[in-house]
Amino acid sequence: MVPQLSWYLALSAILFTIGVAGVLVKRNAIAMFMCIELMLNAVNLTFVAFSSFFRDVTGQLFVFIVMTVAAAEAAVGLGIIITVFRNRESLDVDDASVLKL
């Protein structure tokens, strides 16, 4: 019995769901950030699975671009987190629910 395409899609759905639940439940900005990374990775898994099963390289190119976007997001997102922490002495998103200082 060889792993089917739907197995990979199911695994991806599970990982994405865990990421969504984490973003909604977590209150720490860095933890929410890591849950977003998890969701991006779940989508990458579907891309690679489709690419492999359809024997077309396009999906893997998309993964490459998604990874670049994730890297850019990490740089800017962590910069924002550092700025918020500097101004509020806290990483809790409830403390930063108002844009005004």
Partner 1 sequence: MLSNYLQLILFVLLAGLAIGSAVAMVAQRNPLYSAISLVGVFIALAGLYVTLAAPFIAAVQVIVYAGAIMVLVIFVIMLLNVEEEERRPLRLRFLIPTAILLAGALFAEAAFVLYFVNEAPQPLNPTVAGEASVVGLTASVGQGLFTTYLLPFEITSILLLMAIVGAMTLARRAAVRPTDIVIPGSQVLTMHTVDPRAAGDATPVISDTTDEAARVMNINERMRTRDGE
Residue bearing tokens 């990982």: 15
Helices (H) and strands (E) in the chain, counts: 3, 0
Ranges within 37-76 binding partner 1 (CB under 8 A) = 37-38, 41, 44-45, 48-58, 60-61, 63-65, 67-76
The answer to the question of residue 88 lying near partner 1 (CB under 8 A) is no
Confirm if 33 and 77 have CB atoms less than 8 A apart. Answer: yes
Site track for partner 1 across 3-22, x = CB under 8 A: xxxxxxxxx-xxxxxxxxxx
Smallest separation (angstroms) from partner 1 to the CB of 99: 14
The answer to the question of residue 24 lying near partner 1 (CB under 8 A) is yes
d(C-alpha 98, C-alpha 86), whole Å? 15
